[in-house]
Structure 1
């Protein structure tokens, strides 16, 4: 989709996320209402290229709704989404994937009736020639610790292995931005540390930016460049994990602590 495409507005997007900026994603006045409920309320949120940002907040703060607005799973009531020099507010989920945005949901969205190899072939069909499949699958299963399971049914994998498989599937799409919704929910401490190491490696080696929703504050501390706290559908505060964790108001709303 080129610059002449009338469905894509470029001027504000270029100013917000164009080549002269370090910002990869920027939302402006982003709002989503479900009847009388406002799930996100005029959110202005930006992520830099190659940044690893965590998004935290109490249940019902609007975190998953916000990610679904970015991926196009939901349409905003108002506001704009700018990404990599383009306005993507009205683009379909598929078009956003084509532009380099991948999403990993809280519950692994793998194909349980297929093997690990076959699961990886599904996204590869969008970005690679069939002659490259075997080599790229071999690289992916080695990198994500699945080489010994490549021809096993994905339904036989452990929960942690399924999480790694879905991240591997998302990475085959060669994203510039990956969105993760609670990637370590239900994992053991060892599995959580493995996912943390994996995300840091991808962030460092592939220069992929991340937005990660997570309730495990220790996991957040182990990976985040910056942390955004959502509360009642809007940004409550942003900063380093140290500043956020030590903020008494954050501790009150997020950790349930009394002053």
Structure 2
């Protein structure tokens, strides 16, 4: 049986990395994921500050989605640790990570096609003790689907389904939102709508980690960018520096240095 002293010792790395005395909200330490002989994520030390919009970019197979799945608990790490807001997440199942303040929207829409827009939003709300009516009205307005509240999700466009799923994550009132290619397959106008939605949520204090290929979208929402390549952090910095870095252009943008 663990004693209070044992528990305190176990919590210390998480508190030191992401506790109240630091601006860091999320941190990984030597995070590694092996699939047989393939190392998809290789000893990654990564952190995000509270209130930041961080974009994670890199070529196909760089390990971006794997890193996201390690953070959300969809995958278990081979080595390393994950800390969030003073808690160690490494061994927690996905639903317990959500309870600490993390929401996620994966690349493909995961909405309930046989339910209406409103009913889809009610599903995650059942996990909370928030004012359902107030949150519902605010979220419908925020994702620009108030006029389609009673429309079946199966009748929505691809972009509307993406916004609906972001709305479902927002109803949980997360501290950190993880988005995996949120504008994949969207039109220019739909992409602009999502950028505006993220900006609005960020203005209210939400922190974002966004995996994205669309560099125009990255320019619109992010000031700081992390480049992943072959499972490791290749570069980090302001978007202006990343876009003019010859090595980044070579490995990611397909340009000759």
TM-score range, shorter chain: over 0.9
Task: Please give the TM-score of this superposition, normalised by the length of structure 1.
Answer: 0.95
2: CA distance between counterparts of 1:91 and 1:11?
17
1:167 equivalenced with 2:175 (yes/no): no
CA RMSD of aligned residues (A): 1.6
CA distance 1:186–1:7, shift in 2 (3 Å): farther
**Runs of 4+ with deviation above 6 angstroms:** none
Unaligned 5+ runs, structure 1: none
Query: How far apart are the structure 1 equivalents of 2:135 and 2:255?
Result: 48
- Gap change, CA 1:229 and 1:66, over 3 Å in 2: same
Secondary structure (helix, strand or coil) at the match of 2:20 reads coil
SS in structure 2 at match of 1:70 = helix
Q: Deviations over 1:199-236 (max 9, x none)?
A: 0110112x111000000001001110200000000000
Distance in 1, matches of 2:192 and 2:203, equals 16
- Shift of residue 7 of structure 1? 11
The alignment partner of 1:183 has SS state of: coil
Residues 158-197 of structure 1 aligned to structure 2 (within 5 Å): 158-197=157-196
Q: Distance in 1 between matches of 2:238 and 2:134?
A: 39
Q: Could you say which residue in structure 1 is the equivalent of 2:112? A: 111
Q: Which residue of 2 aligns with 1:251?
A: 249
Closer, same or farther in 2 for the Cα pair 1:248/1:69, shift >3 Å? same
Q: Which runs of 5+ in 2 are unaligned?
A: none
Residues of 1 paired with 2:38 and 2:124: CA distance? 36
Q: Secondary structure at the match of 2:150?
A: coil
Partner of 2:87: 86
In structure 2, what is the Cα distance between the partners aligned to 1:189 and 1:117? 26
For residue 234 of structure 2, the aligned residue among 233, 236, 241 is 236
Q: Which residue of 2 aligns with 1:31?
A: 32
- Matches of residues 1-259 of structure 1 in structure 2 within 5 Å? 9-128=10-129, 132-205=131-204, 207-259=205-257
The CA deviation string for residues 147-172 of structure 1, in whole angstroms up to 9 with x for no partner, is: 11100101101111111110110000
TM-score of the two chains, using structure 2 as the length reference = 0.96
Aligned length: 254
Q: Is the 8 A contact 1:8 1:86 kept in 2?
A: no
What secondary structure is seen at the aligned counterpart in 2 of 1:109? coil
CA-CA distance at 1:144 after TM superposition = 1.0
Does structure 2 retain, via aligned residues, the 8 Å contact 1:25–1:83? Answer: yes
Give the conservation status (yes or no) of the 8 Å contact 1:245–1:251: yes
